[in-house]
Structures are given as C-alpha cells and as structure tokens.
Structure 1
Amino acid sequence: MRVVSLVPSLTEAVAVSAPGALVGATDWCSHPVGLDVTRVGGTKNPKADRIVALAPDLVIANEEENRASDLDDLRTAGIEVLVTEVRDVPQAFRELARVLDACGVRARPRWLDEAERTWSSPSAPDRRTTAVVPIWRRPWMVLGRDTFAGDVLARLGVDHLYAAHEDRYPRIPLDDLLAAAPDVVVLPDEPYRFTADDGPEAFPGLPCALVSGRHLTWYGPSLTEAPRVLSEALRAARR
C-alpha cells in the first residue's frame, strides 16, 4: 500500500499506525517529527504531478482542508482519493477508523483506543467558561458553527460565543470581539501562529490562553493528550 496524505493530522495517524505505507505528505505535515517522505506542496495547492509520480494507491484528504478542484484533478489522473469530513469528536474517531482501514491497518491501534477512552469522560471544570477563539487576524476570524475545534472545547467545558453564527469561520471586527466580553480568549498557534507577543495585546484585560493548534484542531494521535494539554492551558490563563 502506497499512501499520500494531504492532511497533517491524518499524516500522523497513518505514519504511526501503518509504518512504511506513507510515501508523500504536505509541507505542513510536521508529525511525527523527522517524517521522511516526499513533500507534495501545501494542503490548498498540492503539486499534482509530484503526487502522480509517486504512484500512490490512495490519497487521503479532507473536505475542509483541501480544495475539491485539486482532488478532482487527482481522480482524473486515475488516483483513488478518500475524503474525510470531521465536525466533532465522535466523527473524528469514525473517520480515523475508516482511513486506517483503507490504508491496510487491520489491528486497531492502541492510541486510538486510548484516545476514545480519554474522550469518553474528559474532566471538565465545575463552571463552564465562555470564549472567543480567533483563528486569524488581519482580518480577525473566529470559530463559528459546526467545527471540530468548537466541539473539542465544548467537551472541556468551554462555550465559544460564536457557535451559533451562520458562518463556520466568521469575520468579526475586533471591537465586537472585545464587546462580547468572554471569560477567556483562546489563541491557537495554527492556522495563524498566535504567540505571546502577537495576539494577547489585542485583548487588554481579558485572560488569553495560548494553545497548541495540534491539540485543538488535529484528529489523530494527539487526541490522547489533547484534553490534558488544553485544560492545563485554559486553567493557567485564568489564574
């Protein structure tokens, strides 16, 4: 089995569960650290000729991270493409099982069982917290409705204030974000790389939690430790 992954979290899942199957991945596929495969460009602009040259049996993709036109080009070239859809934690586990099965993994990986057990009863604070979750600035964009990251936070006791917005990633002026007066501002390091010097200064007087995007938005082996890592970051921000 020869697999090309166009989704960083799925790259990690396949790499640790089906050693040797992965032959190509995007430039953004950073885990496992030291992954030695052919790089095929970005998630939004993969190099089709490079992927075709790898002669993969399967390309794995995601309906949100990858463009339909790029996937259609691969299909036209005769390559099988598996497209995932992940909007909440239970769906992530179902899609991970489907991907790994398609990649020839017959024995269920231990990490997947551990992650499901962890998320079956994640510890949540006694009092629920409200948040805004920027994912970009210039312009400011935040989590809206129907997102995997939003579901992750909700299961940890954090209700983001734009969960009912008609858009999945609405553009909200900074003044409106400040006026929403959340308990905490959650600033991930992807897709925009918020840092201690780039993000918190825009929200004076509000606690800001700098969190790992891998633990907030990835669905793969990182799910085993995501509840602990995210909960610790949120607690630290509100002390």
Structure 2
Amino acid sequence: MTHLITDHLGRKVNITASPKRIISICPAITETLFALGLEKEIVGRTKYCIFPKIIVENVPIVGGTKEVNIEKIRNLKPDLILAEKEENTEDIVHALEKIAPVFVMEVQKIEDSYRLIQTLGELTNQELAADNLIASCKASFNSLVRKQNGKAAYVIWRKPYMVVGGTTYINDILHTLGFHNPFEKNDSRYPAVTIEDLAAANLDVLLLASEPFPFQEKHVPEFQSFLPNTKILLVDGEMFWYGAKMIEAGAYLEKLLSMDFSDLSSK
C-alpha cells in the first residue's frame, strides 16, 4: 500500500506505507536512520556517510552526495530514497525518482533538524523512536547558555576561501552560540570571500572547520597574518551536523562556549 505525501520542498511523493529498502544520499540522514533503529532497512549510502562508525560500513556505497551510481542504486531495488536539498543536486533527484520515490528534506535551522527527525519517524513507522531522539537532541542543545560573543565567520573551504552564509544550519548554530555572522546577508549560502572581505568584517572569532576542507593547525598562521586581532579556532565540522549528531554536539558546543571570549567586548 502506498500513500501520497508532500516532501519538504512541496513535491508530491507516492511512498510505500512501510519502506523496507531505504537508500540515503545524505550523511546526516543516514546517521539519523541508524539512531531510529533502521539498520536492517538501510541498503545504500554515500561514501561520506561515515556514522555510526563500523556499523555503517556494512551498507553498500552508491557514490557521493553530488554524484551517484545510478545502476548500482537501481540494482539495490530501493523502495525509498532520501535526499536533502543542500547536500544533493536537483539533477540527481530527477534521475533517481525514475527508480524509486525520492523524498527531499531541507534543513536551514535547528528547528528544521527536529522536523527532519520527525519526518523520518513518520516515513518509517518509527514515530516513538523519533520523539525520543528529538527529546535527546533538545536536551543536549538546551544546555547551551547563549552569550554575546561578537562577530564570527565559519570557514569551510580554501582556494577560494568560502564561509557559511545565512539560511544554513551552521549559521543558526552560530546565532545560538551568541555570534553574529557578517556574511549571513550574502546571496549565496556559502559565499566565496577574499582576504579583504575577511579583514573588513572586523571579526572577533574565525572558526576553521575540519570538513569539507580539512583545516589544520598549519593553516592558522595563514589567517592570522591578515587577521592579527581575531581569535582563530579549529573546530570539528562533524559537530555542526544536524540530525542524530546533535546529541553529542551539545557538549562539544558547550565546551566551545566555555572558552574565554571576555576580551572580545573591548575590540
């Protein structure tokens, strides 16, 4: 039995009432499916779906988030494919919906992450598990005490430098941590910026993420050379994932907040 439902983009999708062969092409969705106890139903994932560690390795890889192996996915005979607007391209969604129903989610804020978990529970008949997971995520994030910590940019790429803009989950986390992102009004969700742009932003804090570009300690002097008065921190990019990762991310972000930003107010 199938039923017609609307995904997060307003698309009508005809989905089986009890999907048994699910492919996820979004890492955070894959991890969340496992957290909902659906390990037996997950038959395909991307190479970037690395959580939960070890367990996820038993699931066949069907490509990446921007490029997938259509024939491999077809041979896996999925009855539901899960995607996310930012992670996956429109072309991939159109190609895959010829094989199986594709439900596309969208996460731009912390509240959207809770919606994603709830939706996954509804799609897979795991509503109670989803409710419990949401409660755990909220408990983790509700412990964060918001302070005014000045202006911050979150860097995801090098050559060119790219930062998070507005309408992103990471930007909402920055707000939750009490930071203002000078690049949130940019038209792009992940704008490319120059040295001059970063210097003119008068940043208090610069966060260098461990992924998708693997920023390391050796990159800090590069930024410090043109941001001499900015506190530069290396952060675990995986702790800025939405979905089930929020449970452990709360403690990580709380530790980040515990750092001494008291000198920023004097800038």
- Cross-structure match for 2:245: 222
- Cross-structure match for 2:162: 141
Residues of 1 paired with 2:221 and 2:84: CA distance? 31
- Structure 2 unaligned residues grouped into runs of 5+: 1-19, 263-267
Paired residues, number: 236
Compared with structure 1, are the counterparts of its residues 15 and 200 closer, same or farther at alpha carbon in structure 2 (3 Å cutoff)? farther
Structure 1 length normalisation: TM-score?
Answer: 0.91
- Cross-structure match for 1:116: 138
- Over the aligned positions, Cα root-mean-square deviation in angstroms equals 1.8
Range moving further from structure 2, 144-153 or 104-113: 104-113
Residues of 1 paired with 2:142 and 2:114: CA distance? 11
Residues of 2 paired with 1:187 and 1:200: CA distance? 12
Q: How many Å apart are 1:119 and its aligned residue?
A: 3.0
- Cross-structure match for 1:6: 25
Residues of 2 paired with 1:232 and 1:129: CA distance? 17
- Cross-structure match for 1:46: 68
Q: How many Å apart are 1:123 and its aligned residue?
A: 1.4
- Cross-structure match for 1:209: 233
Contact kept, 8 Å, 2:113 with 2:242, in 1: the verdict is yes
Residues of 1 paired with 2:221 and 2:191: CA distance? 20
**Do structure 1's residue 63 and structure 2's residue 85 form an aligned pair?**
yes
Q: How many Å apart are 1:162 and its aligned residue?
A: 0.8
Q: How many Å apart are 1:237 and its aligned residue?
A: 7.6
Quick one: which amino acid aligns to residue 49 of structure 2? C
Contact kept, 8 Å, 1:209 with 1:237, in 2: the verdict is no
Q: How many Å apart are 1:234 and its aligned residue?
A: 5.2
Range moving further from structure 2, 12-21 or 33-42: 12-21
Q: How many Å apart are 1:201 and its aligned residue?
A: 2.7
- Structure 1 unaligned residues grouped into runs of 5+: none
Contact kept, 8 Å, 2:217 with 2:234, in 1: the verdict is yes
Contact kept, 8 Å, 1:178 with 1:203, in 2: the verdict is no
Q: How many Å apart are 1:238 and its aligned residue?
A: 4.9
Structure 2 length normalisation: TM-score?
Answer: 0.82
1:93 aligned to which of 88, 110, 114: 114
- Cross-structure match for 1:30: 50
Contact kept, 8 Å, 1:144 with 1:162, in 2: the verdict is yes
Larger of the two Rg values belongs to structure: 2
Quick one: which amino acid aligns to residue 212 of structure 1? D
Residues of 1 paired with 2:251 and 2:233: CA distance? 14
Residues of 1 paired with 2:196 and 2:244: CA distance? 37
Residues of 1 paired with 2:143 and 2:111: CA distance? 13
Residues of 2 paired with 1:90 and 1:221: CA distance? 13
Compared with structure 1, are the counterparts of its residues 107 and 19 closer, same or farther at alpha carbon in structure 2 (3 Å cutoff)? farther
**Do structure 1's residue 73 and structure 2's residue 95 form an aligned pair?**
yes
- Cross-structure match for 2:255: 232
Residues of 2 paired with 1:235 and 1:183: CA distance? 16
Quick one: which amino acid aligns to residue 31 of structure 1? F
